[in-house]
């Protein structure tokens, strides 16, 4: 692999890594929101 090809490969990898991190953070946020909603439903059920 030439140095030019290697740099292109590293750049493509970094771009994918940034996309993966963004998707991971969004997924973690969604799971967290669901957990909060579920615990609120539990509280409402317990109160009723």
Please give the residue ranges that form the binding site for another protein (CB under 8 A): 9-10, 12-13, 15-17, 19-28, 30-32
Contact 11, 3 (CB under 8 A): no
The nearer residue to another protein, 31 or 37, going by C-beta atoms, is 31
DSSP state of 41: H
The nearer residue to another protein, 11 or 41, going by C-beta atoms, is 11
Give, for 10, the enclosing helix (H) or strand (E): helix 3-47
The nearer residue to another protein, 9 or 43, going by C-beta atoms, is 9
Distance of closest approach, residue 8 Cβ to another protein, in angstroms: 10
């Amino acid at each position: 692999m030439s140095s030019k090809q290697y740099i292109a490969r590293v750049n493509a990898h970094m771009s994918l890594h940034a996309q993966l991190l963004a998707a991971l953070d969004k997924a973690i946020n969604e799971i967290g929101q669901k957990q909060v909603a579920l615990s609120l439903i539990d509280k409402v059920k317990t109160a009723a």
